[in-house]
A and B are shown apart, each in its own frame.
Chain A
């Protein structure tokens, strides 16, 4: 039986060039042949563009094909069946068998069906189909698709789809018999930076006999590796920048409360945590009451997080911290106590488990650059957000009346007081501002990490390191320190692993502080 089918299939292949109409033998091969034969037949039928053939392929992908003896039947939704070749109605008998579609064949079918779009008029569909073909060719080039690709290339095509198809053709021709074709293929592929090509090229170098092609392949591989290295370098820089922006957000509030006011606030991490929980509450509110606006809950969460943390901060300042000005070690202990109370309070209110904060639609997913550089949207937004918060704080400190008062009180409290500044009130405002910024940080951090009662603990050491390294009393120093530490950390992570990198960074800071106790940037003169 099997040899008969194979013979039939071979016969068909020989006469295929002229055969445009689906023959019974072709249909049988497609429905019930060996895997390799079926895929070859599939591609040939798809390239021929015969309508009955395409209909049969479609039916196969819907699992609606049965084989009854030598006859191939397409079963419709209502149970009626028709002969795949003639289209005549037929009855399904007891001994009809389903045409089995395995995963490999299914992939091939999907590609073949998609390629139909190549011959359509819609440029977007053409691009999509070409992209699919190119991906399939890079993963596992299949020379039997070549005629199809050639045919599509000969027709009218969108420019981008054409270049994708040419790449697909090059991948398929890598193993071609013709040396010139192999050479051209190697040269085409050399210009691309797709990591999916690497195993293909490497395997081909092993198998290649001709020295000329081999050197072209080697060049292609080298250029691919170069672009991969570039992309991984850029990825490292991006993750470093992203970590830096997170550190900056976490430390910016502290740069005000500690850097400007000199208050050691060990509860700073808990203020971040409160901002994150405020975001979670706003999210829950939107989910229950305004589901149609859910994608925009984050915009509403920002002010809520700011105000929540600022209020807690103001309350802390009014009730505890103001009595401890000038006693930094006591402030440290008291604020640590506050942090314990806040943590346990959140645990009692919302439970000890982490709560789930979802990214809104526009923040999830990622953008791909240069073929293999994938940047998640939420990270990009956080970098932008950190920059915006930084700009806001800078404006507030340098351009507003409140900022002027804060700077005045920082630099010389008695004189500021003589000038009529209510220094006690400015202290509260400044502390609330720093706390509110911590709340904003919490809102941002809720988008990239777990939100739980212990959230703040993981940031407190880092944010103090940033402020101390940057130099107390300096916003600019904080920025440089945060970005520098982020990049340095990610760079070290590349060859030492995450934990060792972190340890190295901490040790670096400890050593650095020995050399420059005043931080990277410091006021010149007596204030330092």
Chain B
């Protein structure tokens, strides 16, 4: 028998030399340079990293995790989700519940219950707050809640082979339904105002410079960890099937693969990443409300990924930093123009930059050679 050996492309190393040095530099910046510039360099020095910047960068790193998650599901699997804002908010709300319980009796009403419950004249915690005073349970729920919601929703959606725009639209409907649900006071999630006015985390005050820096470092490490994880994932056999599903789903099925478990797994992973990002976001920003579930918030995540460059892993992170950096600059200096800018960005990226900034850079590099 003559079996012609099919030469499979061997997967390269997890990190190429360039990527390895990039990750190391980022690690150094997050763990050493930024804390040093913020905590050790005296205020007023040119090199001092202000608390405002720490907060902003920490926030953007949370967004970058979302963009990375979006890229896995959209850039690599071809499924555009307009529901990632929901998973982000779910993670944030779980964290928010814990932080609300940490306030203890220091709220305005000096009650064991969170202020908004006193305001609603509730006498005891509703059932879904049962685990909210345990940090361990909170950490588990941050993963489980968005994961379960995504799993159940995804199972039914992918089983019915809902794809393309249909899927986008029903994820949007799901998010909108959740938005309405969380707006209700009776849901027990603080209604319109959400959760805010946090005081402590793990018994330590939350608003100190050191705590901010700690959260910043944790966020940075999480982002880097997810980046390396995503690199491993897309290079693995699993990741290759995902990209095949994106490019020709029927052909994948004819080859004997059932796309359902692949799609469902990446969908759930992506949702969990968003949930973790939300949980890191809430203590840094100090508020979570249903606004995070608005249609606009979810679509913005997609544009971060698109601006940076879909189907590249650095792209979404770069995109999140570029767009949000521009946002925090424009909304302060030219608040009128921010929406024009964002709108034009949506149009320009889809019309002229399908590969995003990273694609553009690659193109220039290629032209230079």
What are the interface flags for B325-352 relative to A under an 8 Å C-beta threshold, 1 for contact and 0 otherwise? 0000000000010011011111101110
Q: Tell me if B291 counts as interface (CB < 8 A to partner A).
A: no
Q: Tell me if B184 counts as interface (CB < 8 A to partner A).
A: yes
Given A340-B339, A343-B339, A461-B295, answer yes or no on A328-B165 (Cβ-Cβ < 8 Å): yes
Partner of A513, one of B160, B295, B350: B160
Partner of B343, one of A328, A339, A500: A339
B177 touches A338 (CB 8 A): no
Question: Measured between alpha carbons, how far is A329 from B177 in the docked complex, in Å?
Answer: 22
A343: chain B residues within 8 A (beta carbon): 339
Partner of A461, one of B162, B176, B339: B176
Q: Tell me if A391 counts as interface (CB < 8 A to partner B).
A: no
A464 touches B172 (CB 8 A): yes
Q: Considering the complex, give the chain B residue whose CB is closest to the CB of A344.
A: B339
Q: Tell me if B80 counts as interface (CB < 8 A to partner A).
A: yes
Q: Tell me if A337 counts as interface (CB < 8 A to partner B).
A: yes
Residues 299-317 of B at the A interface (beta carbon under 8 Å) = 299, 302-303, 306
Q: Considering the complex, give the chain B residue whose CB is closest to the CB of A502.
A: B180
| Chain B interfacial residues counted at CB < 8 A | 42
A339: chain B residues within 8 A (beta carbon): 343
Question: Measured between alpha carbons, how far is A444 from B271 in the docked complex, in Å?
Answer: 40
Partner of A460, one of B156, B295, B302: B295
Q: How far is the CB of A488 from chain B (nearest CB, A)?
A: 15
Residues 42-81 of A at the B interface (beta carbon under 8 Å) = none
B252: chain A residues within 8 A (beta carbon): none
Q: Tell me if A499 counts as interface (CB < 8 A to partner B).
A: yes
A330: chain B residues within 8 A (beta carbon): 350, 354
B156 touches A464 (CB 8 A): no
Q: How far is the CB of B307 from chain A (nearest CB, A)?
A: 10
Partner of B340, one of A336, A341, A500: A341
Q: Tell me if B198 counts as interface (CB < 8 A to partner A).
A: no
A266: chain B residues within 8 A (beta carbon): 299
Q: How far is the CB of B219 from chain A (nearest CB, A)?
A: 27
A514 touches B346 (CB 8 A): no
Question: Measured between alpha carbons, how far is A347 from B337 in the docked complex, in Å?
Answer: 11
A338 touches B173 (CB 8 A): no
Partner of B183, one of A329, A464, A499: A499
Q: Tell me if A416 counts as interface (CB < 8 A to partner B).
A: no
Q: Tell me if A323 counts as interface (CB < 8 A to partner B).
A: yes
Q: Considering the complex, give the chain B residue whose CB is closest to the CB of A323.
A: B351
A506 touches B176 (CB 8 A): yes
A324: chain B residues within 8 A (beta carbon): 350-351
Q: Give the interface residue-count category, chain A.
A: 35 or more
Q: How far is the CB of A130 from chain B (nearest CB, A)?
A: 48
Given A320-B351, A330-B354, answer yes or no on A517-B160 (Cβ-Cβ < 8 Å): yes
Q: How far is the CB of A340 from chain B (nearest CB, A)?
A: 4
Q: How far is the CB of A88 from chain B (nearest CB, A)?
A: 69
A506 touches B174 (CB 8 A): yes
A332 touches B80 (CB 8 A): yes
Q: How far is the CB of B317 from chain A (nearest CB, A)?
A: 19
Q: Tell me if B26 counts as interface (CB < 8 A to partner A).
A: no
Q: Tell me if A396 counts as interface (CB < 8 A to partner B).
A: no
A517 touches B166 (CB 8 A): yes
A465: chain B residues within 8 A (beta carbon): 169, 173
Partner of B339, one of A341, A503, A511: A341
Q: Considering the complex, give the chain A residue whose CB is closest to the CB of B338.
A: A344
Which of B74, B153, B159, B181 is the most central at the interface, judged by chain A CB atoms within 10 Å of its CB? B181
A514 touches B157 (CB 8 A): yes
Residues 91-129 of A at the B interface (beta carbon under 8 Å) = none
A510 touches B340 (CB 8 A): no
Q: Considering the complex, give the chain A residue whose CB is closest to the CB of B184.
A: A499
Partner of B347, one of A334, A506, A511: A334
B346 touches A334 (CB 8 A): yes
Q: How far is the CB of A316 from chain B (nearest CB, A)?
A: 10
A464: chain B residues within 8 A (beta carbon): 169, 172-173
Question: Measured between alpha carbons, how far is A457 from B296 in the docked complex, in Å?
Answer: 10
A329 touches B347 (CB 8 A): no
Question: Measured between alpha carbons, how far is A464 from B345 in the docked complex, in Å?
Answer: 24
Q: Considering the complex, give the chain A residue whose CB is closest to the CB of B352.
A: A323
B173 touches A509 (CB 8 A): yes
A507 touches B346 (CB 8 A): no
What are the interface flags for A326-366 relative to B under an 8 Å C-beta threshold, 1 for contact and 0 otherwise? 01111111101111110111011000000000000000000
B177: chain A residues within 8 A (beta carbon): 502-503, 506-507, 510
B344: chain A residues within 8 A (beta carbon): 337, 341
Question: Measured between alpha carbons, how far is A347 from B168 in the docked complex, in Å?
Answer: 28
Supplied contacts A468-B170, A513-B160, 16 more A-B pairs, CB within 8 Å? A328-B165, A329-B164, A332-B168, A333-B302, A334-B350, A337-B344, A344-B343, A345-B340, A347-B339, A460-B295, A465-B173, A468-B169, A499-B183, A506-B173, A510-B173, A513-B166
User: Which residues of B pack against A, CB within 8 Å?
Assistant: 74, 80, 153, 156-157, 159-162, 164-166, 168-170, 172-174, 176-177, 180-181, 183-184, 295, 299, 302-303, 306, 336, 339-340, 342-347, 349-351, 354
10 residue pairs A–B, Cβ–Cβ below 8 Å: A333-B346, A336-B299, A337-B345, A338-B346, A340-B340, A340-B343, A461-B172, A500-B184, A506-B173, A506-B180
